Amino acid sequence: MACVACGSETKAGVLMCKRCLEGILDPLSLLTRLGDPTADLRLQQLGSAMMRIGPVASSGLEFGEGVEPALRLRRLADKEEHAQLRSLVEEYLASAGLALHLWGDERLPRRAFLWRLVDEVGPLDLRGEMWARASVRMGNLYSLMVLAVSELPVDDSWRADFIKDSASSALSLYSRAKEHRPLWRVAQSNTAMLRAWTGRTEDSLRILDELASFRVDKETMHFSLKRAMVLCDAGRHDDCLEELARIPEELMDARTKRFRAQLEARR
C-alpha cells in the first residue's frame, strides 16, 4: 500500500502515513458528520440584539455582531478573569451543539476556533459547576475524536497514540464533574461510551448498569439508551431490544424512538 497523500510505502490497509497525518492541523476535520459552517454562522449570529431610537425606516430591533470569541478568550486568559472565561467557554461549546450527553452520532459545525479553544483552555484547572459542565463538553469532543479515528485506516502507531492521548484527555476532563453529582452521572455515562468505543464493552455496560439501576426516570432513560446502543454495537441485538423495552413509552425522546425504529427495521 501507499500513503494517499505522499505516496510513501505503508502497511497493508493503511491509507495514510504518520508524517502526513501529523500535517493535519484541525483534527476535527476527521469527524465524519460536520455541518456547513455558513449554516452554523446563521444560528450563531442570532445573539446581540440592538435597540434603535429615533425614526427608523424598518424594524425597531436589529442584531449586531456581538463579541468575537477568539479575541475575548485572549483577553480573559491574559487577565485571568476566570468567572468570565468559564462562562465564555461553556457558552461557546454549548452553542456549537456539544451537548452534555455523548452519543456518537453528533453533528458538529465546522468551526476552526473550536479545536483551538479546547486545546488552549482544556488544561486550565478552574473550579465550579460551570467549568465542570464545560469540561464534560470538551471531554465529549475528545471522545468523538477517539471514535472517528478508531474507524480510520491510518498508520497504527499514530492512531494508537492519538486514541491514547485523546481518551486520557477525555477522562481527565470528565473527572472534573466529580463534585457535581447529577453532572457526574452524565460524565460517567459518557466514560462508558468512550470505553465501549475503545473495545471495553463489558466495562462500559457495567458502568451504565450501575447508573441505570433502581430507577426509571427521564435521567436514567438516557443511561438505558446508551446501554442499548453499546449492546447493539456489540452485536447483542436481543439484549439491546430488551434494554429498550425497559424504557416506558412516555419517557422516550425522539432519539430513542428513532433508534428503536432503526433496530426494528433491521430485523
User: Which residues from 37-96 bind another protein, rule CB under 8 A?
Assistant: 38-39, 42-44, 46-58, 61-62, 64-68, 70-72, 74-75, 78, 83-84, 86-88, 90-91, 94-95
Return all residues near 220 (Cβ < 8 A) that are at least 6 apart: 211, 212
Tell me if 11 contacts another protein by CB under 8 A: no
Q: How far is the CB of 259 from another protein (least distance, A)?
A: 11
Binder of another protein out of 127, 164, 178, 258 (CB under 8 A): 258
Tell me if 264 contacts another protein by CB under 8 A: no
State which of positions 172-231 bind another protein (CB under 8 A).
Answer: none
Give the interface size with another protein as a residue count (CB under 8 A).
78
Binder of another protein out of 18, 103, 115, 116 (CB under 8 A): 116
The rounded radius of gyration (Å) of the Cα atoms in the chain is 21
* CA–CA dist 147, 142 (Å, integer): 9
Using alpha carbons only, give the angle 250, 256, 260 rounded to the nearest 5 degrees.
105
Instruction: Choose between 93 and 205: whose C-beta lies nearer to another protein.
Output: 93
Tell me if 265 contacts another protein by CB under 8 A: no
Quote the cell numbers at residue 129.
459547576
Binder of another protein out of 8, 160, 206, 215 (CB under 8 A): 8
* CA–CA dist 231, 193 (Å, integer): 11
State which of positions 129-168 bind another protein (CB under 8 A).
Answer: 130, 152-154
Q: How far is the CB of 42 from another protein (least distance, A)?
A: 6
Tell me if 122 contacts another protein by CB under 8 A: no
C-alpha 46, offset from chain centre: 23
Specify which residues 9 forms β-bridges with.
2
Would you say 173 and 122 are in contact if contact means Cβ atoms under 8 Å apart? yes
Would you say 121 and 90 are in contact if contact means Cβ atoms under 8 Å apart? no
Q: How far is the CB of 206 from another protein (least distance, A)?
A: 28
Using alpha carbons only, give the angle 56, 61, 62 rounded to the nearest 5 degrees.
100
